[in-house]
Amino acid sequence: MAARHEEIAEELRRAIDREDYTVGSLLPAETELAAHYGVSRGTVRQAIAALTTEGLIGSRQGARRVVLAGRRSQSFTELCSFAQWAHAMGREATGHVVSSAYHPATPEDSERLQLPLGTRVLHILRVRGLGGRRVLLERTVYADWIAPAVERIEPECPSVTQRLYEDEGLVFAYGEYLIDAVAAGAQDAELLGVRRTSPLLRVRRVTTTRAGRPVEWSEDRYRSDAVSFSVHNSTGNNALARKTGPAMS
Amino acid sequence: MAARHEEIAEELRRAIDREDYTVGSLLPAETELAAHYGVSRGTVRQAIAALTTEGLIGSRQGARRVVLAGRRSQSFTELCSFAQWAHAMGREATGHVVSSAYHPATPEDSERLQLPLGTRVLHILRVRGLGGRRVLLERTVYADWIAPAVERIEPECPSVTQRLYEDEGLVFAYGEYLIDAVAAGAQDAELLGVRRTSPLLRVRRVTTTRAGRPVEWSEDRYRSDAVSFSVHNSTGNNALARKTGPAMS
DNA sequence: GAGTGGTCTAGACCACAAG
DNA sequence: TTGTGGTCTAGACCACTCA
Protein backbone atom coordinates (compact mmCIF):
# COMPACT_ATOMS: atom_id res chain seq x y z
CA MET A 1 0.00 0.00 0.00
CA ALA A 2 1.43 3.30 -1.09
CA ALA A 3 1.50 6.35 1.16
CA ARG A 4 -1.43 8.72 0.85
CA HIS A 5 0.75 11.53 -0.46
CA GLU A 6 2.03 9.25 -3.22
CA GLU A 7 -1.48 8.33 -4.25
CA ILE A 8 -2.40 11.98 -4.44
CA ALA A 9 0.75 12.78 -6.42
CA GLU A 10 -0.12 9.99 -8.85
CA GLU A 11 -3.69 11.24 -9.23
CA LEU A 12 -2.43 14.72 -9.99
CA ARG A 13 0.05 13.37 -12.54
CA ARG A 14 -2.72 11.49 -14.27
CA ALA A 15 -4.95 14.57 -14.22
CA ILE A 16 -2.15 16.51 -15.93
CA ASP A 17 -1.60 13.71 -18.44
CA ARG A 18 -5.34 13.67 -19.15
CA GLU A 19 -5.13 17.43 -19.63
CA ASP A 20 -7.67 18.10 -16.90
CA TYR A 21 -5.00 20.62 -16.09
CA THR A 22 -3.36 21.84 -19.32
CA VAL A 23 0.16 23.24 -19.54
CA GLY A 24 0.13 26.85 -18.41
CA SER A 25 -3.06 26.51 -16.37
CA LEU A 26 -3.40 26.85 -12.61
CA LEU A 27 -3.69 24.09 -10.02
CA PRO A 28 -6.33 24.29 -7.26
CA ALA A 29 -5.21 25.85 -3.98
CA GLU A 30 -3.60 23.64 -1.33
CA THR A 31 -6.59 24.00 0.96
CA GLU A 32 -9.00 22.97 -1.81
CA LEU A 33 -6.93 19.90 -2.62
CA ALA A 34 -6.68 19.06 1.09
CA ALA A 35 -10.46 19.24 1.45
CA HIS A 36 -10.99 17.29 -1.79
CA TYR A 37 -8.75 14.41 -0.74
CA GLY A 38 -9.69 14.58 2.93
CA VAL A 39 -6.12 15.07 4.16
CA SER A 40 -4.18 17.82 5.89
CA ARG A 41 -2.43 20.58 4.06
CA GLY A 42 0.95 19.05 4.89
CA THR A 43 0.13 15.88 3.03
CA VAL A 44 -0.95 17.81 -0.06
CA ARG A 45 2.28 19.79 0.09
CA GLN A 46 4.23 16.53 0.20
CA ALA A 47 2.45 15.28 -2.92
CA ILE A 48 3.01 18.55 -4.70
CA ALA A 49 6.69 18.57 -3.75
CA ALA A 50 7.11 15.37 -5.76
CA LEU A 51 5.62 16.91 -8.89
CA THR A 52 7.77 19.97 -8.38
CA THR A 53 11.04 18.03 -8.35
CA GLU A 54 9.83 16.23 -11.46
CA GLY A 55 9.50 19.62 -13.11
CA LEU A 56 5.78 19.22 -13.80
CA ILE A 57 4.62 22.24 -11.82
CA GLY A 58 6.10 25.47 -10.54
CA SER A 59 5.12 27.74 -7.70
CA ARG A 60 5.65 31.24 -6.37
CA GLN A 61 4.61 32.48 -2.97
CA GLY A 62 1.27 34.24 -3.19
CA ALA A 63 0.21 32.89 -6.59
CA ARG A 64 -1.50 29.66 -7.58
CA ARG A 65 0.73 26.85 -8.82
CA VAL A 66 1.30 26.55 -12.56
CA VAL A 67 1.43 23.41 -14.69
CA LEU A 68 4.79 23.55 -16.50
CA ALA A 69 4.94 20.31 -18.44
CA GLY A 70 2.67 17.44 -19.30
CA ARG A 71 5.02 14.61 -20.12
CA ARG A 72 5.72 12.15 -17.37
CA SER A 73 9.39 11.41 -16.80
CA GLN A 74 10.50 7.86 -16.38
CA SER A 75 11.44 6.24 -13.10
CA PHE A 76 15.00 5.88 -11.90
CA THR A 77 14.77 2.13 -12.49
CA GLU A 78 14.07 2.72 -16.16
CA LEU A 79 17.07 4.99 -16.36
CA CYS A 80 19.36 2.40 -14.77
CA SER A 81 18.08 -0.55 -16.71
CA PHE A 82 18.28 -0.40 -20.48
CA ALA A 83 15.94 -3.40 -20.78
CA GLN A 84 13.28 -2.00 -18.46
CA TRP A 85 13.40 1.29 -20.31
CA ALA A 86 12.90 -0.50 -23.62
CA HIS A 87 10.08 -2.56 -22.15
CA ALA A 88 8.27 0.53 -20.91
CA MET A 89 8.32 1.82 -24.48
CA GLY A 90 7.05 -1.46 -25.86
CA ARG A 91 10.34 -2.34 -27.52
CA GLU A 92 12.70 -5.21 -27.07
CA ALA A 93 16.19 -4.82 -25.70
CA THR A 94 19.05 -7.22 -26.38
CA GLY A 95 22.43 -7.60 -24.76
CA HIS A 96 25.64 -9.29 -25.86
CA VAL A 97 28.85 -9.62 -23.89
CA VAL A 98 31.88 -8.96 -26.10
CA SER A 99 34.51 -9.42 -23.43
CA SER A 100 34.75 -10.08 -19.73
CA ALA A 101 37.88 -10.06 -17.57
CA TYR A 102 39.22 -9.29 -14.10
CA HIS A 103 41.76 -6.53 -13.63
CA PRO A 104 43.33 -4.96 -10.54
CA ALA A 105 41.59 -1.70 -9.65
CA THR A 106 43.32 1.37 -11.05
CA PRO A 107 43.35 4.57 -8.98
CA GLU A 108 40.30 5.66 -11.00
CA ASP A 109 38.41 2.41 -10.29
CA SER A 110 39.44 2.60 -6.68
CA GLU A 111 38.06 6.08 -6.19
CA ARG A 112 34.80 5.61 -8.04
CA LEU A 113 33.97 2.26 -6.46
CA GLN A 114 35.43 3.14 -3.05
CA LEU A 115 37.61 0.04 -3.03
CA PRO A 116 41.27 -0.47 -2.07
CA LEU A 117 43.76 0.03 -4.89
CA GLY A 118 44.45 -3.25 -6.68
CA THR A 119 41.20 -5.00 -5.70
CA ARG A 120 40.24 -7.36 -8.51
CA VAL A 121 37.32 -5.76 -10.36
CA LEU A 122 35.33 -7.15 -13.28
CA HIS A 123 35.46 -5.36 -16.64
CA ILE A 124 32.68 -6.16 -19.09
CA LEU A 125 32.11 -4.82 -22.59
CA ARG A 126 28.53 -5.19 -23.81
CA VAL A 127 26.68 -4.25 -26.98
CA ARG A 128 23.04 -3.39 -26.42
CA GLY A 129 20.39 -3.44 -29.11
CA LEU A 130 16.96 -1.84 -29.37
CA GLY A 131 14.40 -3.20 -31.78
CA GLY A 132 17.09 -5.09 -33.68
CA ARG A 133 19.50 -2.16 -34.01
CA ARG A 134 22.75 -1.84 -32.09
CA VAL A 135 22.57 1.47 -30.24
CA LEU A 136 24.79 1.31 -27.16
CA LEU A 137 28.23 0.16 -26.08
CA GLU A 138 28.68 -0.35 -22.33
CA ARG A 139 32.13 -0.55 -20.80
CA THR A 140 31.31 -1.44 -17.22
CA VAL A 141 33.45 -2.08 -14.14
CA TYR A 142 31.82 -4.02 -11.29
CA ALA A 143 32.93 -3.92 -7.65
CA ASP A 144 34.56 -7.12 -6.39
CA TRP A 145 31.69 -7.97 -4.02
CA ILE A 146 29.11 -8.13 -6.83
CA ALA A 147 31.38 -9.43 -9.62
CA PRO A 148 30.80 -13.17 -8.93
CA ALA A 149 27.04 -12.68 -9.27
CA VAL A 150 27.55 -10.78 -12.51
CA GLU A 151 29.78 -13.52 -13.89
CA ARG A 152 27.06 -16.11 -13.27
CA ILE A 153 24.68 -14.26 -15.61
CA GLU A 154 24.56 -15.64 -19.15
CA PRO A 155 26.22 -13.46 -21.81
CA GLU A 156 23.03 -12.77 -23.76
CA CYS A 157 20.93 -11.77 -20.74
CA PRO A 158 18.79 -8.79 -21.78
CA SER A 159 18.55 -7.28 -18.31
CA VAL A 160 21.48 -7.51 -15.94
CA THR A 161 19.88 -5.05 -13.53
CA GLN A 162 16.79 -7.18 -13.17
CA ARG A 163 18.84 -10.34 -12.69
CA LEU A 164 20.93 -8.74 -9.97
CA TYR A 165 17.72 -7.78 -8.23
CA GLU A 166 16.16 -11.23 -8.55
CA ASP A 167 19.28 -13.18 -7.64
CA GLU A 168 20.91 -10.89 -5.09
CA GLY A 169 18.18 -8.49 -4.03
CA LEU A 170 20.42 -5.69 -5.25
CA VAL A 171 18.66 -2.35 -5.79
CA PHE A 172 20.21 0.63 -7.52
CA ALA A 173 19.26 3.79 -5.67
CA TYR A 174 21.60 6.63 -6.66
CA GLY A 175 23.42 7.59 -9.81
CA GLU A 176 25.75 10.30 -10.96
CA TYR A 177 26.00 10.92 -14.69
CA LEU A 178 28.60 12.83 -16.67
CA ILE A 179 27.49 13.47 -20.24
CA ASP A 180 29.53 14.59 -23.23
CA ALA A 181 30.21 13.77 -26.89
CA VAL A 182 33.06 11.78 -28.42
CA ALA A 183 34.07 10.60 -31.88
CA ALA A 184 33.68 6.88 -32.50
CA GLY A 185 36.96 4.96 -32.32
CA ALA A 186 37.76 1.91 -34.42
CA GLN A 187 36.26 -0.56 -31.94
CA ASP A 188 33.19 1.64 -31.32
CA ALA A 189 32.60 1.92 -35.06
CA GLU A 190 32.85 -1.79 -35.66
CA LEU A 191 30.65 -2.84 -32.75
CA LEU A 192 27.96 -0.20 -33.29
CA GLY A 193 28.01 -0.37 -37.07
CA VAL A 194 28.78 3.30 -37.62
CA ARG A 195 31.61 5.09 -39.43
CA ARG A 196 34.75 5.99 -37.51
CA THR A 197 34.66 9.54 -36.10
CA SER A 198 30.85 9.49 -36.01
CA PRO A 199 29.57 11.53 -33.06
CA LEU A 200 28.55 9.41 -30.07
CA LEU A 201 26.82 10.48 -26.88
CA ARG A 202 29.04 9.41 -23.97
CA VAL A 203 27.68 8.86 -20.46
CA ARG A 204 30.05 8.09 -17.62
CA ARG A 205 28.14 7.02 -14.55
CA VAL A 206 28.49 5.57 -11.08
CA THR A 207 25.59 3.69 -9.51
CA THR A 208 25.24 2.94 -5.79
CA THR A 209 22.98 1.04 -3.42
CA ARG A 210 20.55 2.63 -0.99
CA ALA A 211 23.27 2.51 1.63
CA GLY A 212 25.56 4.58 -0.59
CA ARG A 213 27.84 1.71 -1.58
CA PRO A 214 29.07 1.97 -5.20
CA VAL A 215 28.17 -1.10 -7.28
CA GLU A 216 29.46 -0.31 -10.74
CA TRP A 217 30.76 2.43 -12.90
CA SER A 218 30.43 2.51 -16.62
CA GLU A 219 31.31 4.39 -19.75
CA ASP A 220 28.38 4.12 -22.14
CA ARG A 221 28.46 5.26 -25.78
CA TYR A 222 25.16 5.77 -27.55
CA ARG A 223 24.54 6.14 -31.27
CA SER A 224 23.59 9.80 -31.39
CA ASP A 225 20.77 9.21 -33.86
CA ALA A 226 19.15 6.63 -31.57
CA VAL A 227 19.19 8.00 -28.05
CA SER A 228 19.21 11.33 -26.25
CA PHE A 229 18.72 12.46 -22.65
CA SER A 230 16.31 14.96 -21.16
CA VAL A 231 16.54 16.85 -17.88
CA HIS A 232 14.07 19.05 -16.04
CA ASN A 233 15.62 21.73 -13.91
CA SER A 234 14.50 24.70 -11.87
CA THR A 235 15.60 27.21 -9.27
CA GLY A 236 14.50 24.80 -6.57
CA ASN A 237 15.94 21.65 -8.09
CA ASN A 238 19.28 21.98 -9.81
CA ALA A 239 20.16 18.39 -10.63
CA LEU A 240 21.93 19.43 -13.83
CA ALA A 241 25.29 21.18 -13.92
CA ARG A 242 27.70 22.29 -16.61
CA LYS A 243 31.36 21.28 -16.30
CA THR A 244 34.53 22.20 -18.09
CA GLY A 245 36.12 19.41 -20.05
CA PRO A 246 39.71 18.18 -19.78
CA ALA A 247 40.89 20.56 -22.51
CA MET A 248 39.90 23.54 -20.39
CA SER A 249 41.30 22.62 -17.01
CA MET B 1 17.01 36.97 5.68
CA ALA B 2 16.97 33.38 4.56
CA ALA B 3 14.56 30.85 6.03
CA ARG B 4 15.86 28.85 8.96
CA HIS B 5 15.71 25.60 7.01
CA GLU B 6 17.87 27.14 4.27
CA GLU B 7 20.45 28.25 6.82
CA ILE B 8 20.57 24.76 8.24
CA ALA B 9 20.86 23.23 4.76
CA GLU B 10 23.73 25.58 4.01
CA GLU B 11 25.50 24.70 7.26
CA LEU B 12 25.19 21.02 6.48
CA ARG B 13 26.52 21.56 2.94
CA ARG B 14 29.51 23.37 4.34
CA ALA B 15 30.06 20.63 6.92
CA ILE B 16 30.11 18.08 4.09
CA ASP B 17 32.44 20.27 2.02
CA ARG B 18 34.73 20.60 5.05
CA GLU B 19 34.60 16.81 5.37
CA ASP B 20 33.23 16.99 8.89
CA TYR B 21 31.02 14.37 7.33
CA THR B 22 33.01 12.38 4.78
CA VAL B 23 31.49 10.55 1.82
CA GLY B 24 30.05 7.26 3.00
CA SER B 25 29.67 8.37 6.62
CA LEU B 26 26.44 8.81 8.55
CA LEU B 27 24.62 12.04 9.36
CA PRO B 28 23.31 12.70 12.89
CA ALA B 29 19.71 11.70 13.56
CA GLU B 30 16.92 14.15 12.83
CA THR B 31 16.15 14.60 16.50
CA GLU B 32 19.80 15.34 17.28
CA LEU B 33 19.98 17.95 14.53
CA ALA B 34 16.68 19.45 15.68
CA ALA B 35 18.00 19.79 19.23
CA HIS B 36 21.35 21.14 18.00
CA TYR B 37 19.78 23.88 15.89
CA GLY B 38 16.92 24.53 18.28
CA VAL B 39 14.19 23.88 15.71
CA SER B 40 11.48 21.31 15.24
CA ARG B 41 11.97 18.04 13.44
CA GLY B 42 9.93 19.30 10.48
CA THR B 43 12.34 22.13 9.84
CA VAL B 44 15.31 19.78 9.90
CA ARG B 45 13.53 17.50 7.45
CA GLN B 46 12.97 20.46 5.15
CA ALA B 47 16.67 21.29 5.20
CA ILE B 48 17.61 17.69 4.57
CA ALA B 49 15.13 17.41 1.69
CA ALA B 50 17.12 20.09 -0.12
CA LEU B 51 20.38 18.15 0.21
CA THR B 52 18.60 15.01 -0.92
CA THR B 53 17.37 16.52 -4.18
CA GLU B 54 20.88 17.82 -4.73
CA GLY B 55 22.08 14.24 -4.50
CA LEU B 56 24.37 14.94 -1.54
CA ILE B 57 22.76 12.51 0.88
CA GLY B 58 20.59 9.43 0.71
CA SER B 59 18.22 7.90 3.18
CA ARG B 60 16.37 4.66 3.92
CA GLN B 61 13.68 4.24 6.52
CA GLY B 62 15.12 2.89 9.72
CA ALA B 63 18.76 3.69 9.01
CA ARG B 64 20.78 6.84 9.49
CA ARG B 65 21.25 9.06 6.44
CA VAL B 66 24.35 8.55 4.34
CA VAL B 67 26.58 11.18 2.74
CA LEU B 68 26.70 10.29 -0.98
CA ALA B 69 28.75 13.06 -2.54
CA GLY B 70 30.83 15.98 -1.46
CA ARG B 71 30.88 18.30 -4.43
CA ARG B 72 28.38 21.10 -4.44
CA SER B 73 26.37 21.45 -7.63
CA GLN B 74 25.94 24.85 -9.16
CA SER B 75 22.82 26.96 -8.95
CA PHE B 76 20.18 27.10 -11.65
CA THR B 77 21.26 30.65 -12.46
CA GLU B 78 24.75 29.43 -13.27
CA LEU B 79 23.29 26.81 -15.57
CA CYS B 80 21.16 29.36 -17.44
CA SER B 81 23.82 32.00 -17.70
CA PHE B 82 27.04 31.08 -19.45
CA ALA B 83 28.72 34.22 -18.13
CA GLN B 84 27.70 33.66 -14.50
CA TRP B 85 28.87 30.08 -14.73
CA ALA B 86 32.25 31.21 -16.06
CA HIS B 87 32.49 33.87 -13.35
CA ALA B 88 31.83 31.32 -10.61
CA MET B 89 34.81 29.35 -11.90
CA GLY B 90 37.01 32.44 -12.01
CA ARG B 91 37.07 32.54 -15.82
CA GLU B 92 35.98 35.13 -18.29
CA ALA B 93 33.13 34.59 -20.73
CA THR B 94 32.74 36.43 -24.01
CA GLY B 95 29.82 36.68 -26.38
CA HIS B 96 29.56 37.72 -30.02
CA VAL B 97 26.40 38.02 -32.11
CA VAL B 98 26.91 36.57 -35.58
CA SER B 99 23.41 37.20 -36.86
CA SER B 100 20.11 38.55 -35.63
CA ALA B 101 16.80 38.57 -37.48
CA TYR B 102 13.05 38.35 -37.04
CA HIS B 103 11.15 35.43 -38.53
CA PRO B 104 7.51 34.31 -38.30
CA ALA B 105 7.11 31.54 -35.72
CA THR B 106 7.21 28.06 -37.22
CA PRO B 107 4.98 25.36 -35.73
CA GLU B 108 8.01 24.30 -33.67
CA ASP B 109 8.62 27.84 -32.36
CA SER B 110 4.93 28.23 -31.72
CA GLU B 111 4.70 25.12 -29.58
CA ARG B 112 7.88 25.63 -27.58
CA LEU B 113 7.26 29.30 -26.85
CA GLN B 114 3.48 28.94 -26.51
CA LEU B 115 2.86 31.68 -29.07
CA PRO B 116 0.42 31.89 -31.99
CA LEU B 117 1.75 30.55 -35.29
CA GLY B 118 3.41 33.28 -37.32
CA THR B 119 4.22 35.57 -34.37
CA ARG B 120 7.41 37.46 -35.20
CA VAL B 121 10.15 35.90 -33.06
CA LEU B 122 13.81 36.93 -32.83
CA HIS B 123 16.50 34.49 -34.00
CA ILE B 124 20.01 35.13 -32.74
CA LEU B 125 23.20 33.21 -33.45
CA ARG B 126 25.94 33.78 -30.89
CA VAL B 127 29.46 32.46 -30.41
CA ARG B 128 30.50 32.19 -26.78
CA GLY B 129 34.06 32.04 -25.58
CA LEU B 130 35.65 30.86 -22.36
CA GLY B 131 39.11 32.03 -21.38
CA GLY B 132 39.80 33.16 -24.94
CA ARG B 133 38.64 29.95 -26.63
CA ARG B 134 35.45 29.59 -28.62
CA VAL B 135 33.49 26.78 -27.03
CA LEU B 136 29.79 27.27 -27.69
CA LEU B 137 27.41 28.17 -30.52
CA GLU B 138 23.96 29.35 -29.42
CA ARG B 139 21.07 29.43 -31.88
CA THR B 140 18.40 31.11 -29.79
CA VAL B 141 14.80 32.07 -30.52
CA TYR B 142 13.25 34.73 -28.26
CA ALA B 143 9.52 35.21 -27.70
CA ASP B 144 8.05 38.38 -29.22
CA TRP B 145 7.36 40.01 -25.87
CA ILE B 146 11.03 39.95 -24.81
CA ALA B 147 12.63 40.36 -28.26
CA PRO B 148 12.74 44.22 -28.21
CA ALA B 149 14.67 44.13 -24.93
CA VAL B 150 17.09 41.57 -26.37
CA GLU B 151 17.62 43.70 -29.48
CA ARG B 152 18.60 46.67 -27.33
CA ILE B 153 21.53 44.74 -25.85
CA GLU B 154 24.88 45.38 -27.52
CA PRO B 155 26.25 42.51 -29.68
CA GLU B 156 29.33 41.86 -27.53
CA CYS B 157 27.47 41.74 -24.20
CA PRO B 158 28.99 38.91 -22.15
CA SER B 159 25.83 38.14 -20.17
CA VAL B 160 22.45 38.49 -21.80
CA THR B 161 20.75 36.78 -18.87
CA GLN B 162 22.08 39.33 -16.43
CA ARG B 163 21.11 42.25 -18.67
CA LEU B 164 17.57 40.97 -19.04
CA TYR B 165 17.37 40.79 -15.27
CA GLU B 166 18.79 44.28 -14.73
CA ASP B 167 16.79 45.94 -17.51
CA GLU B 168 13.52 44.02 -17.39
CA GLY B 169 13.53 42.25 -14.05
CA LEU B 170 13.27 38.99 -15.97
CA VAL B 171 14.12 35.87 -13.97
CA PHE B 172 14.61 32.43 -15.47
CA ALA B 173 13.01 29.85 -13.21
CA TYR B 174 12.49 26.59 -15.11
CA GLY B 175 14.30 24.80 -17.89
CA GLU B 176 13.94 21.66 -19.89
CA TYR B 177 17.05 20.28 -21.56
CA LEU B 178 17.40 17.69 -24.31
CA ILE B 179 20.95 16.49 -24.72
CA ASP B 180 22.54 14.54 -27.57
CA ALA B 181 25.56 14.52 -29.88
CA VAL B 182 25.87 15.80 -33.44
CA ALA B 183 28.62 16.13 -36.03
CA ALA B 184 29.81 19.67 -36.68
CA GLY B 185 28.42 21.15 -39.90
CA ALA B 186 30.29 23.61 -42.09
CA GLN B 187 29.08 26.70 -40.21
CA ASP B 188 29.64 25.07 -36.81
CA ALA B 189 33.17 24.11 -37.81
CA GLU B 190 34.05 27.57 -39.02
CA LEU B 191 32.59 29.45 -36.06
CA LEU B 192 33.97 27.11 -33.40
CA GLY B 193 37.31 26.52 -35.08
CA VAL B 194 37.00 22.75 -35.25
CA ARG B 195 37.08 20.31 -38.15
CA ARG B 196 33.87 19.40 -39.95
CA THR B 197 32.22 16.23 -38.57
CA SER B 198 33.87 16.78 -35.15
CA PRO B 199 31.58 15.55 -32.37
CA LEU B 200 29.67 18.34 -30.64
CA LEU B 201 27.49 18.16 -27.55
CA ARG B 202 24.06 19.49 -28.48
CA VAL B 203 21.65 20.90 -25.89
CA ARG B 204 18.15 21.93 -26.94
CA ARG B 205 16.44 23.84 -24.17
CA VAL B 206 13.41 25.88 -23.30
CA THR B 207 13.56 28.40 -20.46
CA THR B 208 10.52 29.90 -18.72
CA THR B 209 9.68 32.51 -16.11
CA ARG B 210 8.44 31.75 -12.61
CA ALA B 211 4.89 32.02 -13.92
CA GLY B 212 5.58 29.29 -16.47
CA ARG B 213 5.77 31.60 -19.48
CA PRO B 214 8.38 30.49 -22.05
CA VAL B 215 11.00 33.15 -22.75
CA GLU B 216 13.38 31.54 -25.21
CA TRP B 217 14.37 28.29 -26.71
CA SER B 218 17.79 27.49 -27.97
CA GLU B 219 19.91 24.92 -29.69
CA ASP B 220 23.39 25.09 -28.18
CA ARG B 221 26.42 23.25 -29.57
CA TYR B 222 29.42 22.81 -27.30
CA ARG B 223 32.95 21.78 -28.26
CA SER B 224 33.02 18.34 -26.74
CA ASP B 225 36.54 18.75 -25.40
CA ALA B 226 35.59 21.90 -23.52
CA VAL B 227 32.29 21.27 -21.79
CA SER B 228 30.26 18.39 -20.37
CA PHE B 229 27.17 18.09 -18.19
CA SER B 230 26.64 16.25 -14.94
CA VAL B 231 23.40 15.05 -13.38
CA HIS B 232 22.62 13.61 -9.95
CA ASN B 233 19.71 11.22 -9.91
CA SER B 234 18.05 8.88 -7.45
CA THR B 235 14.94 6.83 -6.83
CA GLY B 236 13.36 9.85 -5.18
CA ASN B 237 14.44 12.43 -7.72
CA ASN B 238 14.40 11.33 -11.34
CA ALA B 239 15.13 14.55 -13.18
CA LEU B 240 17.04 12.67 -15.89
CA ALA B 241 15.41 10.53 -18.57
CA ARG B 242 16.56 8.63 -21.62
CA LYS B 243 14.75 9.22 -24.91
CA THR B 244 14.80 7.58 -28.30
CA GLY B 245 16.14 9.72 -31.09
CA PRO B 246 14.45 10.52 -34.41
CA ALA B 247 16.03 7.53 -36.11
CA MET B 248 14.23 5.14 -33.77
CA SER B 249 10.73 6.55 -33.78
C1' DG C 1 -7.64 43.35 1.52
C1' DA C 2 -8.53 38.63 0.41
C1' DG C 3 -6.38 34.64 -1.02
C1' DT C 4 -2.38 31.83 -1.58
C1' DG C 5 1.84 29.57 -0.82
C1' DG C 6 6.03 29.46 2.53
C1' DT C 7 7.55 28.52 7.18
C1' DC C 8 7.44 26.40 11.60
C1' DT C 9 5.70 23.87 15.59
C1' DA C 10 4.50 19.81 18.68
C1' DG C 11 2.94 15.77 18.81
C1' DA C 12 1.37 11.05 17.27
C1' DC C 13 1.89 6.58 15.14
C1' DC C 14 4.04 3.36 11.90
C1' DA C 15 7.65 0.66 9.16
C1' DC C 16 11.99 -0.61 8.83
C1' DA C 17 17.16 -1.50 10.13
C1' DA C 18 20.39 -3.09 13.05
C1' DG C 19 22.36 -5.07 17.11
C1' DT D 1 14.10 -4.27 21.34
C1' DT D 2 15.60 0.26 20.38
C1' DG D 3 16.34 3.89 17.43
C1' DT D 4 15.62 5.76 13.15
C1' DG D 5 13.34 7.82 9.31
C1' DG D 6 8.50 8.08 6.99
C1' DT D 7 3.82 9.69 7.41
C1' DC D 8 0.21 12.61 8.92
C1' DT D 9 -2.28 16.08 11.63
C1' DA D 10 -4.02 20.80 13.20
C1' DG D 11 -2.95 24.95 13.84
C1' DA D 12 -0.32 29.35 13.70
C1' DC D 13 1.84 33.24 11.50
C1' DC D 14 4.18 35.50 7.67
C1' DA D 15 5.25 37.13 2.74
C1' DC D 16 3.69 37.65 -1.39
C1' DT D 17 0.38 38.23 -5.57
C1' DC D 18 -3.37 40.10 -7.56
C1' DA D 19 -7.63 42.33 -8.20
| CATH code of the domain containing A210 | 3.40.1410.10
- Could you tell me if residue B200 is inside a domain? yes
Q: Please tell me whether residues B42 and B107 are part of one structural domain.
A: no
Measure the CA–CA gap between B212 and B218, rounded to whole angstroms: 17
Return the pLDDT at B12. 94
For residue B195, the model assigns a pLDDT of 95
> Which residue in B91, B176, B188 has the most chain A C-beta atoms within 10 A of its own C-beta, making it the best mutation to test that interface?
B176
Q: Is A241 inside any structural domain?
A: no
Question: Residues of B with CB below 8 A from A229's CB?
Answer: 178-180, 231, 240-243
What DSSP letter does each residue of A101-117 carry, written as one string? EEEEPPHHHHHHHT--T
Inter-chain touch B53–A183, beta carbons under 8 Å:
no
Same domain for B159 and B111? Answer: yes
CB contact under 8 A, A241 and B227: no
Based on the domain organization, do B154 and B47 belong to the same domain? no
Q: Domain count for chain A, please give it.
A: 2
pLDDT tens-digit map of B83-136: 999 998 889 999 999 999 999 999 999 999 999 999 999 999 999 999 889 999
Kindly state whether residues A85 and A196 are assigned to the same domain.
yes
Asked if residue A84 and residue A62 are part of one domain, the reply reads no
Average pLDDT, chain B: 91
Whether B17 is covered by a domain: the verdict is yes
**Is B79 close to A245, i.e. CB distance below 8 A?**
no
User: CA-to-CA distance for A8 and B70, rounded, in angstroms?
Assistant: 34
Quote the pLDDT of residue B206: 94
Closest residue of chain A to B206, computed from CA coordinates: A232
Report the residue of chain A nearest B195, measured CA to CA.
A197
Question: In terms of domains, do A46 and A92 share one?
Answer: no
Task: State the pLDDT at residue A1.
Answer: 64
Tens-level pLDDT at each residue, chain A (249 residues):
688 999 999 999 999 988 899 888 999 999 999 999 999 999 999 999 999 988 889 998 989 999 988 776 678 888 889 999 999 888 999 999 999 999 999 999 999 999 999 999 999 999 999 988 999 999 999 999 999 999 999 999 989 998 998 888 888 989 999 999 999 999 999 999 999 999 999 999 999 998 888 999 999 999 999 999 999 888 877 888 898 877 766
> Do residues A127 and A63 both lie within one domain?
no
Distance from CA of B48 to the nearest CA of A (A): 13
CA B238 to each of CA A74, A200, B242, B245: distance values in angstroms, whole numbers, following the listed order: 7, 24, 11, 20
Q: Do B241 and A76 touch (CB under 8 A)?
A: no
Q: Give the whole-angstrom CA distance, residue A73 versus residue B240.
A: 8
Residues in reach of strand C, judged by a CB distance below 7 angstroms, are A 27-32, 41-42, 45, 59-65, 211; B 3-6, 38-43, 46, 60-63
Nearest residue: Cα versus C1' of C10? B40
Helix axes B4-17, B30-37, angle to 10 degrees: 110
Range(s) of the domain holding residue B36: 4-67
- Can you give the distance from the CA of residue B150 to the C1' of nucleotide C4 in angstroms? 33
**pLDDT the model gives residue B238:** 80
Residue B85 and residue A242 in contact, taking contact as beta carbons nearer than 8 Å: yes
Q: Which residues of A touch B247 (CB under 8 A)?
A: 223, 225-226
Q: Is residue B160 assigned to a domain?
A: yes
Nearest-neighbour CA in chain A from B229: distance (Å): 5
For B190-212, what is the mean pLDDT? 94
User: Does B247 map to a domain?
Assistant: no
Q: What is the CATH number of the domain that holds B58?
A: 1.10.10.10
Name the closest residue on chain A to residue B65, using Cα atoms: A211
pLDDT higher than threshold 70 for residue B249: no
Res. B237: pLDDT tops 90? no
More confident residue, B246 or B132: B132
Do B129 and B210 lie in a common domain?
yes
Nearest chain A CA: its distance from B96 CA (Å): 20
The answer as to whether B140 is a domain residue is yes
Instruction: State the pLDDT at residue A237.
Output: 79
The whole-angstrom distance between B221's CA and the closest CA on chain A is: 11
Asked whether residue A237 is assigned to any structural domain, the reply reads: no
Amino acid identity at B115? L
Rounded to whole angstroms, the Cα distance separating A27 from B102 reads 35
Which protein residue's Cα is closest to nucleotide C7 at C1'? B3
Q: Which of B163, B155, B158, B168 is CA-nearest to residue B209?
A: B168
